[in-house]
Amino acid sequence: MIEAPPQWSLHPQLAKDTINIGDLPLSRLLLINDANYPWLLLVPRRLGVSEMIDLDEVEQAQLWTEIARTGRALKTVTECDKLNIAALGNVVPQLHVHVIARRQGDAAWPKPVWGAVPPINHDQYEADRFIAELRRRLWLVDPAA
């Protein structure tokens, strides 16, 4: 009997901290539960990958395309002053890329967001509207639909 191969699943810590926006061809797009900043994550649906350079070349190019598409959509929707794009992963080993809209005078400005101030809850209506706008611009299907 052949066992089913292990399936990719979102790291529990990332699942806990985020809302699922939808799946791009390679990556799951998530909204971080912190209303201080419009803060997205891209998580490639590949098993056991920690570094961008661990992806094969085609997947790396696809990830870069998805980062750029997400960054453009985020910049348009938020009219932010600066994008912050980062793959750190010192705590959660599953590869994830931060795409964050920064504004002069936001809670951490001009410092990086990580650990700067305690997270605050999203207003449900604002978050729903923001997510709907991103889905529309990125041609994403609501995963709950």
Binding site for its own copies (CB under 8 A): 50-53, 60-61, 64, 67-68, 71-72, 75, 82-91, 102, 109-112, 114-115
**Closest separation between CB of residue 138 and its own copies, Å?**
14
CB closer to its own copies, 25 vs 143:
25
Q: Which amino acid is at 22?
A: G
CB closer to its own copies, 47 vs 88:
88
Cα–Cα separations (whole angstroms), residue 65 to 69, 71, 106, 113, 130: 6, 10, 27, 24, 21
Q: Which amino acid is at 41?
A: L
Strand (E) or helix (H) holding 20: strand 18-23
CB closer to its own copies, 53 vs 145:
53
Structure tokens at 39: 């803060």
Structure tokens at 37: 């900043």
**Closest separation between CB of residue 95 and its own copies, Å?**
11
CB closer to its own copies, 82 vs 129:
82
CA 38, 98, 65: angle at the middle one, nearest 5? 105
